[in-house]
Chain A
Amino acid sequence: MMKKITPAFAVLILSFVLLWVCAEATPAAKPAGEPVQSGTQGGSAGQAGKQDPFEIFGRVVRQLESAARPMTEKEEYYVGRAVAAQILERYRVVQDSRIMEYVNLVGNAMALASDVPYTYGGYHFAVLDTSEVNAFSCPGGIVFVTRGMLSRAGNEEELAAILAHEIAHVNNRDGIQAIQQSRWVEVVSMLGGEAVKGKEGINKLTLLFEGSVNDVVRTLIVNGYSQDQERAADASALNFLNRAGYDPIGLADYLERLSREQGAGNRGGFFSTHPGMSERLGLVRSAIASNGWKRIDHRIRDRRFGQYMK
């Protein structure tokens, strides 16, 4: 009997010992200047000297788990708000209640058809008062489209296509991916230890937060997402449009217009952060063809587009 359970037991013991060794090797993440023993958390744990191996085991497991922890929806929301704040320091929002209503209706209809219909703070859409052609999707669901971009949409299908593409970036958490890995590793390594307590902890987290927000803003405004992220967002947008009953060909029509402008030498803003429009257009067209999607009648929506946009 003893012989039978030995291998299983050995695995458990081995993992226990390994984790114990890790615990001993992990530098105690305590803020400088704080006494070694905080005393308030964990009850009996951590009297200098002998420690309960089960306490250590529990702590190591907690540390390993926190290190693997992704950013929560709520944290993403706070990063997104700060990103949106920076964008709204550069651009004013168009104060037209009809336009505001229209982009929010089309945007929310698209969001319901997306892969993540609900986010922590919900989806919110606004138009930025600039003739530049651009759109920004902040982590968590605040989406901005410029007046220049909106003015190039020929109908509601195309507006829905623009918003679907931006919602896809939110779904895919592309904004969050722009944050340097090392920053998040530092955040979670703080959480596993005790260093997060007190003013010093907050100050350190604030710096990491600021760095993270700036990483996202830089990607949105200066560098743009990767070509792969753009292609993935196009592919998702086609599905969202189709699910919602919009004509997915609207995305191809819109990209074709932008591609023509890019070909005609329009540079800067969107055209610099979104190179290779014609390649994207080609991929979108072939996806439409392989799904067998044909043009659908959308005159009923064309009419209301005309009413809202006049």
Chain B
Amino acid sequence: MQERVRRMNLKLRHLLIVAGFLLLAPAALAAELRIVTEEGLVRKDRRFFAPVVTRVPYGELIRDDSRRGDWFRVRYQGIQGWIHKSQVTERKYRATLTGPAPEATRDEVALAGKGFTPDVERSYRGQNPRPGYEAVARVEAYRVSDEALQSFIRSGKLQVRGGEP
């Protein structure tokens, strides 16, 4: 009986080791982030209206040095700054099972590039004349600058997320 319990414990320990390995292996690769917005804005400080030090195109990988709250301290082409968490993804794919991380992440891009792509939109617009797209383009072209928005927030005695002026 005691021998059985000992064997069970041993089995359990091995299972835990395997589970731990599978769980922890991707975490070891958490040093890269991918831009998920049309353009990633890397700012001088971790504030919404801090000056933009560099702009990173969609899909690019940036190095993640550390995280503080909603901001990541990152490095891209030698330039260091802060990027908001909603502009990047930490999603990690299989690196331990089918090869090294860079290859795996390229696969991710390939997969993402195969779904609802600009080609699909073009084909959709080709098959269904959609005059509404022109009006959408005008709505999208309207942008408020950082300066205008910051001044609007200040003059209305508002704030950005409790604290940041």
What number of A residues sit within 8 Å (CB to CB) of B?
A: 71
What number of B residues sit within 8 Å (CB to CB) of A?
A: 59
Tell me whether A61 and B98 are in contact in the complex, defined as CB-CB below 8 angstroms, given that A74-B58, A81-B121, A120-B58 are known contacts: yes
Task: Confirm or deny: A133 has a beta carbon within 8 angstroms of a beta carbon on chain B.
Answer: no
Interface string of A188-213 (1 = CB under 8 A from B): 10110000100000110110011011
Task: Confirm or deny: B11 has a beta carbon within 8 angstroms of a beta carbon on chain A.
Answer: yes
Interface string of A262-282 (1 = CB under 8 A from B): 000000000000000000000
Residues on A close to B: CB < 8 A?
4-5, 7-8, 11-12, 57-58, 61-62, 65-66, 69, 71-75, 77-79, 81-82, 84-89, 92-93, 100-101, 104-105, 108-109, 112-113, 116-122, 124, 126, 142, 156, 187-188, 190-191, 196, 202-203, 205-206, 209-210, 212-213, 242-246, 300-301, 304
Query: For the complex, what is the distance from the CA of A244 to the CA of B41, rounded to whole Å?
Result: 21
Given A72-B112, A87-B132, A104-B144, 20 more contacts at CB 8 Å? A7-B11, A11-B14, A57-B98, A62-B94, A65-B111, A74-B112, A82-B124, A89-B130, A93-B138, A109-B160, A156-B156, A196-B114, A203-B123, A206-B124, A243-B162, A244-B160, A245-B156, A245-B159, A300-B155, A301-B157
- Chain B contact residues: over half helix, strand or loop, or mixed? helix
* A78 contacts B116, C-beta separation under 8 Å: yes
Query: For the complex, what is the distance from the CA of A226 to the CA of B155, rounded to whole Å?
Result: 37
Interface string of B125-153 (1 = CB under 8 A from A): 00110111101101110111000110011
